[in-house]
Structure 1
Amino acid sequence: MKIFYAVQATGNGHISRSMELLPYLQQYGEVDIFLSGDNSNLKLDAPITYRSKGLSLYYTCNGSLDYWKIARSINFLSLKQEIKQLPVEKYDLVINDYEYITAAACEAKKVPSVNFGHQASFQSMNVPRPEQKSKAGEWLLKKYARADRYIGLHFEPYDDFIVTPVIKKEILEATPTDEGHITVYLPSYCEPQLIEIFSGFKDHHFEIFSRESKEDRRVGNILFKPVSKAMFNKSMIHAHAIITGGGFETPSEAIHLGKKIMAIPIRGQYEQCCNAAALRKMGVMTLDKINDNFPEVFKQWMEDYKPIRRDYSQSIPLSMKKLFES
């Protein structure tokens, strides 16, 4: 079997998930990878057959999307050409983790595909949404990468085509401990803003993973670290608690490890607002934004909120079963 696997590289989560799934997919056939997007901090540790700048997300330094930079990065003529040239028709199975060019190529060439990933779960209205729904956000989640079949991943199996998150092997095999530090990953904030936010909590030590850092750098009670899979895994496994955005992979891993979480969605990213709604229902503290009340909120979180835990160890076998036996 020849398998085409489209991986979105607009963030680290899609790449992290693909590296875990690839060995299992290779048991079923020869896998060619299409990597699309250019603002991930992680490298895909596998041969890449097709590469595209694709459609990427960019951020400000204050917790929101940079819409102007996103718009400027889009080359419609190049996209049209890539859609035409992408050889999806040569494959027995096309797996798409929320990637637009692949979806458009399959639609144009009448090639069946499977949308397999977190965003696929939003085809179900059973998946939690924020009180204020976004029509544009709902359209993007449901129509941006259309497919013939959907296999979704989410914190809970909200529907019959949804399974629980794919967790990295290093996390599955880890023995969590509490060394007292708080692991922070807020990619839509820059280091000056992060220093302003966290330097006032003198009684707490923060390990902050920053897209700006090339090496470890200490600023008072903050240790800035470059985004690295191995270092982030180690920090999270031994953390007292996790502060992260409203993404999917990091909260999932923190939940599997039984760590206390604070989730702060990137403003303007509707999927993250939906994730926050789901986490809130599970008992996780979520914030719309960081403002002047943050010291009081942080204190409440430290004193009143408890970790939650789910066992996600069977997620990959369940995912493969749905993918190849349906």
Structure 2
Amino acid sequence: MKIFYAVQATGNGHISRAMTLMPHLQKWGTVDVFLSGNNSHLAAQLPVRFRSRGISLYYNNTGGLNYSKIAFQRNPLALMKEIKELPVGQYDLVINDFDFLTSVACRLQRVPSVHFGHQASFRYTETPRPAQRQWHGELLLKDYVQATHHIGLHFKKYHPSIFGAIIKEEILQAAPSEQSHITVYLPALSDQTLLRLLSPVTDQFFEIFSKETRSLTRKGNLLFRPIEQQAFNRSLIHCSGIICGAGFETPAEALQLGKKILAIPIKGQYEQYCNAAALDQLGVMTISSTESVQTQHIRRWLDQGKTLHLDYSQSIQEALEYLFSVATTRQPSAPIIGQPVCAP
């Protein structure tokens, strides 16, 4: 089986998930990756056959989507030329992790596809939303990618077509401990803001992963670290809790490890508001947005926050078995035989 796997290259989450999934997908056939976008800082250790600037998602200084930059980043004629040249029709299966170009190419060429990833979960009304919905946020999450099937990933199985998070093997196999530090990953906030927010909590040591810091910097009870994946994994595995945004991958890894979480959605990011609503339902402490967080919130969480453990160890097997059971070839009436090339 020939598999076309489109991966959105905005941020690191999509690429990280693709790297985790790749050895499992390759049991079902030959996989060619289409990397679409140019707004990621993670090296894609993937079998990339096609690349494009794609349609990257950009954010403004407050963390919200920069719609004008998104809309005017590409020449429409050049973009349409790329779309028409995508060889999706040459593959037995097209898997799309939130890429607009692949979505349009499949529609133009009448090729079935599977939208697979966290954003696909928002096609279903059962997926948690915040009390105040945003029409433009809903439009982006639900209609940015069109597909024959939508298979979502989320914190819980809110719908039969939604599965648990895809977790890196390093996290799944880890032996977590509870050391004295709190891990902090809030790239939307400046180092100065984090210093002002956390330094008054003098009885707690914070290990902060910062996009501004280039070397280890100690400031009282705060240690600022450059963002580096292995160092972050170690810090998360052995922390007593984590303060992070309300994205998907980092809170899911913390849930897998049974860590106490304080989730703070980035102001203006509707997807994070949705994730925060889901985490709140699970019993995870959340704050309304990065703009409203105060030192008193940190103290209350340290005193009252609770740990929660969810097991995502079977998510890959369950999600891929379902994907291959519902996916279709170019002829919608001819289902793909759900058998891997070698035994999983």
TM-score, scaled to structure 2: 0.89
Identify the residue that residue 260 of structure 2 maps to in structure 1.
260
Q: Deviations over 1:285-304 (max 9, x none)?
A: 11122457611111111111
Kindly indicate whether residue 316 of structure 2 is the aligned counterpart of residue 313 of structure 1.
no
Change (3 A) 1:127 1:215: same
What is the letter of the counterpart of residue 294 of structure 1?
Q
Identify the residue that residue 148 of structure 1 maps to in structure 2.
148
Secondary structure at 1:96 match in 2: strand
Kindly indicate whether residue 260 of structure 2 is the aligned counterpart of residue 279 of structure 1.
no
Would the aligned equivalents of 2:198 and 2:295 in 1 still touch at CA under 8 Å? no
Distance 1:40 1:222 in 2: 27
Kindly indicate whether residue 194 of structure 2 is the aligned counterpart of residue 194 of structure 1.
yes
Q: Alpha-carbon deviation of 1:93?
A: 0.6
Identify the residue that residue 56 of structure 1 maps to in structure 2.
56
Distance 1:194 1:52 in 2: 36
Identify the residue that residue 213 of structure 1 maps to in structure 2.
213
Distance 2:77 2:184 in 1: 39
Distance 1:67 1:204 in 2: 39
Q: Alpha-carbon deviation of 1:101?
A: 0.8
Identify the residue that residue 299 of structure 1 maps to in structure 2.
299
Distance 1:283 1:304 in 2: 11
Identify the residue that residue 8 of structure 2 maps to in structure 1.
8
Q: Alpha-carbon deviation of 1:187?
A: 2.3
Kindly indicate whether residue 244 of structure 2 is the aligned counterpart of residue 244 of structure 1.
yes
Q: Alpha-carbon deviation of 1:181?
A: 1.2
Distance 2:27 2:275 in 1: 32
Q: Deviations over 1:120-148 (max 9, x none)?
A: 11111011110001121111111101100
Q: Alpha-carbon deviation of 1:264?
A: 1.1
Alignment RMSD (CA, Å): 1.8
What is the letter of the counterpart of residue 200 of structure 2?
G
Identify the residue that residue 177 of structure 1 maps to in structure 2.
177
Secondary structure at 1:32 match in 2: strand
Distance 1:168 1:75 in 2: 37
Identify the residue that residue 162 of structure 1 maps to in structure 2.
162
Distance 1:72 1:5 in 2: 26
Identify the residue that residue 137 of structure 1 maps to in structure 2.
137
Identify the residue that residue 38 of structure 2 maps to in structure 1.
38
Identify the residue that residue 203 of structure 1 maps to in structure 2.
203
What is the letter of the counterpart of residue 302 of structure 1?
L
* 286-295 vs 29-38, which moves further: 286-295
Identify the residue that residue 338 of structure 2 maps to in structure 1.
none
Identify the residue that residue 89 of structure 2 maps to in structure 1.
89
Distance 2:189 2:245 in 1: 10
Kindly indicate whether residue 229 of structure 2 is the aligned counterpart of residue 229 of structure 1.
yes
Secondary structure at 1:275 match in 2: helix
Secondary structure at 2:94 match in 1: strand
Kindly indicate whether residue 74 of structure 2 is the aligned counterpart of residue 79 of structure 1.
no
Q: Give identity over the alignment, percent.
A: 53
TM-score, scaled to structure 1: 0.94
What is the letter of the counterpart of residue 144 of structure 2?
Y
Would the aligned equivalents of 1:183 and 1:241 in 2 still touch at CA under 8 Å? yes
Distance 1:63 1:11 in 2: 13
Would the aligned equivalents of 1:9 and 1:35 in 2 still touch at CA under 8 Å? yes
Would the aligned equivalents of 2:11 and 2:40 in 1 still touch at CA under 8 Å? yes
- Runs (5+) with no aligned partner, structure 2: 327-344
Would the aligned equivalents of 1:42 and 1:227 in 2 still touch at CA under 8 Å? no
Secondary structure at 1:5 match in 2: strand
Q: Deviations over 1:18-51 (max 9, x none)?
A: 1110000011111111112222222111231111
Would the aligned equivalents of 1:62 and 1:193 in 2 still touch at CA under 8 Å? no
Q: Alpha-carbon deviation of 1:324?
A: 1.3
Would the aligned equivalents of 1:96 and 1:113 in 2 still touch at CA under 8 Å? yes
What is the letter of the counterpart of residue 203 of structure 1?
D
Secondary structure at 1:213 match in 2: coil
Change (3 A) 1:133 1:198: same
Secondary structure at 2:34 match in 1: strand
Secondary structure at 2:171 match in 1: helix
What is the letter of the counterpart of residue 284 of structure 2?
V
Would the aligned equivalents of 2:63 and 2:268 in 1 still touch at CA under 8 Å? no
Distance 2:155 2:100 in 1: 24
Q: Deviations over 1:168-220 (max 9, x none)?
A: 10000001111111111122223333333323322222222223334333333
* 118-127 vs 285-294, which moves further: 285-294
Change (3 A) 1:4 1:283: same
Q: Deviations over 1:51-87 (max 9, x none)?
A: 1222223344544444555455344333222212211
Distance 2:224 2:59 in 1: 19
* 175-184 vs 54-63, which moves further: 54-63
- Runs (5+) with no aligned partner, structure 1: none
Q: Rg: which structure is higher?
A: 2
Would the aligned equivalents of 1:41 and 1:211 in 2 still touch at CA under 8 Å? no
Change (3 A) 1:88 1:215: farther
